[in-house]
A and B are shown apart, each in its own frame.
Chain A
Amino acid sequence: MSSVRQNLHNATFWPRAADRKIAFIFCALTSLSILLPSDAASKSLLVFAGAASKPPTEEIAKLFGQKNGLPVRVTFGGSGFVLSQMKLARQGDVYFPGSSDFMEKAKREALVFPETERIVAYLIPAINVPRGNPRHIRSLKDLLKPGIRLAIADPETVCVGTYAVEVIEKNLDLKERERLRKNLVNTVESCEKTANVISLKVVDAVIGWEVFQHWDPERIETIFLKPEEVPRIGYIPAAVSSFTSDRALAEKFVQFLISVEAKSIFMKYGYLISLEEAKKYTLPSTLAGGEYSLPAAWRRRPR
């Protein structure tokens, strides 16, 4: 009787040795990844940046970090998305959106110090098509041709989408706008995706920024609008966040963004760094920056 009890006591549902070995290896590997050292530093600079300036900003952040001996952490995303992140996280040293529209919003909500705002680069709205221009799009009116697949960025949330609507509204009459909207297959959620859909030939054309052709020169070609068709010149501003814990350092970074050194990096990536240069593609009277109030027809719901 006692031997039966002993056997029952020894009985177990634990897996066999081979399965135990697999479990052990899995646990060991996952634990090891937790124990790996992290690069947590005591002092750093946190920048919330719009993805419209990703390639040069990464290079400039690295350079600033090397010069000042501290890491510069840059969070990229849609200008509005990173503004939400900054607002909810209540941290960040510099706000660096893709265009003036979201900077105006940040200023209204006191999320940045307005007096610290500086203009870093200028952007010109234009038509972008796949390299070689297979659908022979030469002007804004060509986007009305039946069968053209057009995309723009979401006009309510992405600055380049707002500019696209402004171009459409200011240059096309009601009937033309209706024809264009028939060709508008969808909107995309970010500035960089507006360029990507051309790189991937998902659509025949987008209304984006002139600079897109420098982001992916092998696949993207820019068709410039006529000077009188450009409603506004976009610009990329930067300002010190009101959540900064080191305002002097944050201001130093903003100043560095407009230094000759940083501007040459922006130039390398095809950005326009002076208003005079930008005005070559517009009328002399065309204004830079500001805000555009989106017509009700382009809104999800009236305000």
Chain B
Amino acid sequence: MNFRKTTVYAALVLFLFYAVLILSLLTFFEGKGFLQVLLAPDTLFSIRLSVVAATIAMLLAVAIGLPAAYALSRASFPGKKLVDTFLELPMIMSPIALGAALLIFFNTPFGAIIQEKGILFVFEFPGIVLAQFATIAGLATRLMKTALDEISPRYEAVARSLGSSAWGAFWKITFPLAFRGLISAMILCWAKAVGEFGATVTLAGTMAFKTETMPIAIFMALASADIRKTIILILILAGIGLTALYAVRFAAKTPQIL
């Protein structure tokens, strides 16, 4: 077996591993209830809530993560290594721990002031966005830094030497060159936010028609020992996620990271 074939087989094994997981769901699947669950008002609400919250969380993560990624990629400043390490905190801490930390933060005097005078996060929609943001912000910054690292700083230096401003050099040179990588990072973070469960359930609760996202709906179906509904909801979430991701890949054709 040659080297190339072996690598292709490894990719196929991974595909089969996930495909078998999805197919195994069909052993408990009953087709007649599928449309009923999909079109139920609570499912449609959960789908919309998940997509809207994940999109806002992803945009916020990019808004703060892109400048941060640029600084980590290009500049050197005191404490850079520490900041870089902390970006991995959400990956090391379990999502439940992250959610618990947020809940405890809002129990501190400072957190209580934010709740009273600013925005209500606990058990409210902003809580979903905050929980998802906390989970993906570090990852977004790390992925965007990788995309920016790929672009040699010399291009910007040349643009600056020809009279371009720092912002102009970034906007006209580095950003377009890193564009595919940045888009890939955004897609990956959006997908992670859509599937986020632990931090969201801890901070935002489970109320139907208020804070019940799709992953929470799946958990609640399993928690009510309703395995049929659980499986239908998993298939719906997997279907939406995979369709969105495949469509973007199809449009992007040759993404760098994804």
Contact = CB atoms under 8 A, between A and B. Distances in A.
A187 B223 contact: no
A83 interface: yes
Contact of B207 (A78, A187, A201): A187
Given A201-B107, A202-B103, A187 B42 contact: no
Contacts of B122: 202
Nearest to B211: A186
B224 A80 contact: yes
Interface residues of A, number: 25
Interface stretch (A21-29, A153-161, A165-173): A153-161
B103 A200 contact: yes
Contacts of A88: 227
B29 to A, nearest CB: 14
Most buried by A among B107, B208, B219, B220: B220
A185 B206 CA distance: 11
Contacts of A187: 205-208
A80 B206 CA distance: 15
Interface in A189-203: 189, 200-203
B221 to A, nearest CB: 8
A185 B227 contact: no
Contact of A301 (B41, B205, B210, B227): B41
B8 interface: no
Contacts of A202: 103, 106-107, 122-123
A154 B206 contact: yes
Contacts of B40: 300-301
Contacts of A105: 225
A182 interface: no
Contacts of B207: 154, 186-187
A207 interface: no
Interface string B177-204: 0000000000000000000000001001
Given A188-B205, A200-B103, A200-B107, A157 B223 contact: yes
Contact of A80 (B103, B124, B225): B225
A87 interface: yes
Nearest to B28: A88
B168 to A, nearest CB: 35
A84 interface: yes
B223 A158 contact: yes
A143 interface: no
B206 A186 contact: yes
Contacts of B219: 81, 189
A243 to B, nearest CB: 15
A183 B95 CA distance: 28
A96 interface: no
B232 to A, nearest CB: 13
A116 B201 CA distance: 35
B52 interface: no
A186 B223 contact: no
Interface in B99-133: 103-104, 106-107, 122-124
Given A202-B122, A300-B42, A84 B204 contact: no
Nearest to A106: B225
30 contacts: A78-B223, A80-B225, A83-B225, A84-B222, A84-B225, A84-B227, A84-B230, A87-B225, A105-B225, A151-B205, A154-B206, A154-B220, A154-B223, A156-B220, A185-B123, A185-B205, A186-B124, A186-B204, A186-B205, A186-B210, A186-B211, A187-B205, A187-B208, A189-B201, A189-B216, A202-B106, A202-B122, A203-B123, A300-B42, A300-B208
Given A203-B123, A300-B208, 12 more contacts: A81-B225, A83-B225, A186-B211, A187-B206, A187-B207, A188-B205, A189-B216, A200-B104, A202-B107, A300-B40, A300-B42, A301-B42
Interface of B: 40-42, 103-104, 106-107, 122-124, 201, 204-208, 210-211, 216, 219-220, 222-225, 227, 230
